[in-house]
Structure formats: structure tokens, C-alpha cells
A and B are shown apart, each in its own frame.
Chain A
């Protein structure tokens, strides 16, 4: 099948058996790849009510038709599973080089099922597939394991590995790859740990069939040319995602002291230019990338190096914790990556604890003697380690802010910044109604990548609540995640402003199937509805109440910064949801109606 590896590898960890199935053409036609494959498999193969950390849950790793191809951004794969953090849909996009090796090994998806009786790693070299003993690797941190594999097998092998966080089933544990890329959110690393899979190592040399080689070359070159000529390329390559730090501070979107404000007095020393000048050593990109956004940094103070920090980590492990020292943020980044826990959820969990400490809900008696004042760098480092190992006070924080705050009570729920149990990524949304709605309705929880609408808020009026804003959010949710379906990176479109229509001939040349962006958005809409139906299937009380934002954003206006005194009213929160459900064709409680399911042709998938 043109554009595909052609096979799905199924690994039964309980028995050690493997099987390979031909990738169904109708699956590729209807769901294309990546997270499209992921939600299809999740609905079909993981039984209702499965324990996310039990043998019935599965991990689905899927590439897409542009993965591993000479198309800018073709370095992405999707990791779908039932989330141990939220109890709903988890889909984490991972960059780097792993997906290209999957494709060259002839694999469109890898399905991990069951639980291994002992620690193992999955070895794949083209058609050679083995489960190998990983007892000697269990307990080791991610970088050491990746280095060990690279030295043993060579640079051509790509490694995805969990750390102690995943082994200890921290529900926001990540999978680390390429010394700094992650399947970061939703706890994929914990599911891998529950299955006793320490790592996947993969290498392939097969060619990928394409429908029209000449058209493929031409379309690929047009995309690279557009990237190279983009006005924003130099700026983007210099700073990557950190270029937005100062901007977010200016507009009140930079999470500050557990999202109590959106502007931080120390933002200057966290900014992209400051970081570039003081700690960045070089740039680092994923497979086939013409605009490498990764920044490799050297922290002299700690005699260490890390890929990062990205904007998200600066927001959550920097300003959100009252830390203005970029080297310390980079070190926190290093600790999280090495231990295999998500920097976004970790920064949130510690921010929540710091606010509780500030408010007197916690004292040193609760915190293992740690002085949890905002800005206490050493306490943050200690807590990261404790979280990954689920030790002492870290065991509480390792549960995520939703569970931890419910356990603690005393009003601490108000400081738990999450939607659906997933901690909010690094945009404060006190007065940015489209972005707030994007977080409320995101299909994995409070994550920004599906619909990034905060500039739109500023363009049209940030407090405005109207059907056009809602329509914009829905369009973004249908469109942007399609990059995670086709196996590509959205950042060339997002940051370099290249024409998205340039992808259409590339996709057609590779697969032989013409799809306009309108066609692709229709697929995106179908996937979006399926993810919603999955949440509802797994949670009996699922509905509007799950979409409510943290109370902070409708009750607790910032006392400083660009959004001082600004808030979104609860009436407008509900109005946003009413309009959103109506435009989506969902019930007043936020569930796809039978008519919507039927019109999108989803009956066969959901039964």
C-alpha cells in the first residue's frame, strides 16, 4: 500500500508471541494513520472499563503516511492508550527519529498487549522481532539506557525508553526518545511500565512504496523551499518555542505561581534570547526537519546538559514555580526527562503543592521537611525525584493534581489546575475565552496542541464570547490534529506560516489518494467525535461537568500583570459550552447525538 510500511506488529507480552497483520486498506482510507489508527484500535480492542495499568489495556504506536518521508516534519508518531492519569483517551505525539525506523521496518503500528512476567525490551530490526530480558536495565534512568543501547547497537537504532517514573507507575510518566523527545502526556510511560516493557529499540532499511515518485520529489522540494524561504525561519531556528516566553508574559498568558497570574517579574531571564545567549549550545531537529526547534543547553552551574527547555517546561517548571533562573529550569527539565516524568504535569503538581503550602494547607510536617516556598529550586529538584520514585510527599504529588487535591481537601481543589484530570499546559486563561474553551474541550485533557487560539482571542477581543470564536476552536480541533494523523509536525505550518495546501500534493503523491484539507478536516471531525465517545464509554458520568475549567479561571482574577483583575464569568463558561455543543451536534450534556454519529458514518466503529 503506497505510503505505508504495510504491516501492524502485535506483541503479546504475556506469552511472548508476535504476529504481523497486513494494514487494512479501509483503515488507511478512513483513518489515514497516527492518532486516527490509535483511536480506532483503542475503541475496538481495549474492553470497556479496562484498568489503564492492567493487562487489558494496550499501547498503540502508529506512524502516518508522511512519517519517515522526505517531507518537512515527517518525524512524528502517535502513542495512544487508555490514560492512567485521566481514565480517558490518551494520545501523545512523539518527534525524533523513531517513526522513520518504524516505517523502514515495514511497520505502520506496533501494538503492545498483555503484561510481561519480567522486565523486557522489544527489539526490532527489520523482520527480526524479539523480546529480550531487561532485568539489568530496570531501575535505570532513561539517558543511561538510551546511551547503553546506542553504544551496543549503533546510532542507526532508535530507542524509546521509560525511566523510574514509568516503572513506578506515576500516572503522568513519559516515554523518552532521542535524549530529549517524549511521548509526554497522559501517562503512556506508566502503561509501558505496567507491561514491564523498559524500552523499544528499532531499526529498518526497507523502502516505502510511493504512488508517484516524481510528484513526491517535486512536492517535497516545494515544501522544503517554502520552509527555507520563510521570513520567520531564522527567528524560529534561533529560539524555537522559547520565542513566545516574552510574548506570553506581555499578554498575561505565562503561568505564574500556580496560574494565579499570567505575567512574571522574572520573565526576562527566562526569555528565548536570554536562554540562547546564556545556555544554548546548538540546535537539534527531528527527522527531516528544515527548522530545528530543539535547543541543546549546557548548565554550567550543574555541570550538565539537556535538550531544552521548551516553552512548556519554562512555563511550568519556571514561572509557575516562581523560578526565574533559566539554568535551574533546564536542570529541572533534565531531571524530569531522565526520570521519565512529564514536565508539564510535574510543574503543575509542584505548583499546586507550593500554593497549598503558601495558604497553610501544608506545613513542613506534610512536605518531608521541605520549605515549599515559590522559588525554592532545591525543593523542586528534591520533589521531582520523590515524585518519580513515589516516595514520601512525592507519592501524593505523583497522583496528579486532581486525585491529590481530592485526597487532601481543605479547599485545595481550587488550586488544582486541570481539566479531566490532566494538568493544564502553559497558557494562563483568565481572560482568553477561545483558549479557555480549547482547554475545556481538548480530547486528552487540558492540553494546548489541538487548538491554540489565544492569538485569535487577542485579535478579536479576548473576553468576547460568540459563535465565531467557538467555530474557530472547532476548526482548529478538526484541522491541527490531522498532522498527528498523517505523521507530521504542525510547526512548519504554525511557526513558518507555510501554505498548508503544499501538503496536499505531497500526500497524494505518496499515497495515490487525493485529499483536500476539507477532506482531511472531515477525517479530523470523525476522530474528534470518536475520542469523545471513548470518554463517554469509559466514564458513566461523563458530560458537561468534565469540560468545566479550573475554578481559578472564573473565580480568581490575577492580582498583578497584564490580566490583573480580569476573569471569565461562569455564565460565559457555560455559554461557551452551549455554543460548542450545538455546533458540534452534541447534546446539552456534551455527547454526540445519534444523528451526529450517523452523519459522520461512525456507527460501524462504535456499534
Chain B
């Protein structure tokens, strides 16, 4: 049982430069990114299986979760 967490751009620095990693289901996106050392409030957008979700979404088995940070701004 696992899901894929994809990290955009600069967030990859928190995963050794790699764009994605396998994560255990059952935790929220907020908890998972925190465990990587990412401050959750820097995440602007969470997309789960092509649908926008909140950081409190509980990751399910087989999910593909994309998190986008806002680093540069408008």
C-alpha cells in the first residue's frame, strides 16, 4: 500500500533533489510534507489525482499527490 508524492521545483531540495517519493497512506498531506521538513504554509496548492484538495486531505492508497510551493511569487 503506497501513494506517490510529487514535489514541484524547489521543494525537491527536501527530497535529495528527486521529484517524487513513495509515501504511506493514512496521513494528511500536511503531516507528510512536515515530515520532510517543509513548512506546510509554504505549500500553495495540493492536487490529488488531478483534483485540487486541501492540505488536510488524508492520502489514500494509489493516490498521486502533487504539491506546489510558491517560492518566487507574482
Binding site for B on A (CB under 8 A): 230-232, 235, 241, 243-244, 247, 250-251, 273, 311-312, 448-449, 452-455, 458-459, 480, 490-491, 493-497
Given A231-B66, A243-B44, A458-B41, answer yes or no on A490-B9 (Cβ-Cβ < 8 Å): no
| The residue from A231, A241, A273, A495 contacting B6, defined by CB atoms under 8 A apart | A231
Closest to B20 in A: A231
Task: Decide if B39 touches A459 in the complex (CB within 8 Å).
Answer: yes
Task: Decide if B68 touches A452 in the complex (CB within 8 Å).
Answer: no
Task: Decide if A232 touches B9 in the complex (CB within 8 Å).
Answer: yes
The 10 nearest A-B residue pairs measured at CB: A497-B9, A452-B73, A494-B72, A247-B44, A231-B8, A458-B41, A232-B8, A241-B74, A455-B42, A232-B68
- By the criterion of a CB under 8 Å from any partner CB, how many residues of chain B are at the interface? 20
Residues of A within 8 A of B33 (CB): none
Chain A facing B: main interface SS: helix
| The residue from B52, B66, B73 contacting A455, defined by CB atoms under 8 A apart | B73
Given A243-B44, A273-B52, A458-B42, answer yes or no on A231-B72 (Cβ-Cβ < 8 Å): no
> Within the complex, what minimum Cβ distance (angstroms) separates A495 from chain B?
7
Closest to B71 in A: A455
Residues of A within 8 A of B39 (CB): 458-459
Instruction: Compute how far the CA of A169 lies from the CA of B20 in the bound complex, rounded to whole angstroms.
Output: 54
Contact with A along B17-45 (1 / 0, CB 8 A): 00100000000000000000001011011
Given A232-B9, A235-B45, A459-B39, answer yes or no on A454-B73 (Cβ-Cβ < 8 Å): yes
Binding site for A on B (CB under 8 A): 6, 8-10, 19, 39, 41-42, 44-45, 47, 52, 66, 68-74
Task: Decide if B41 touches A251 in the complex (CB within 8 Å).
Answer: yes
Instruction: Compute how far the CA of A387 lies from the CA of B71 in the bound complex, rounded to whole angstroms.
Output: 36
Instruction: Compute how far the CA of A235 lies from the CA of B6 in the bound complex, rounded to whole angstroms.
Output: 14
Task: Decide if A250 touches B41 in the complex (CB within 8 Å).
Answer: yes
> Within the complex, what minimum Cβ distance (angstroms) separates B29 from chain A?
13
Task: Decide if B70 touches A247 in the complex (CB within 8 Å).
Answer: yes
Given A231-B8, A232-B8, A235-B47, answer yes or no on A490-B72 (Cβ-Cβ < 8 Å): yes
> Within the complex, what minimum Cβ distance (angstroms) separates A480 from chain B?
8
Instruction: Compute how far the CA of A495 lies from the CA of B9 in the bound complex, rounded to whole angstroms.
Output: 9
> Within the complex, what minimum Cβ distance (angstroms) separates A418 from chain B?
19
Residues of B within 8 A of A480 (CB): 72
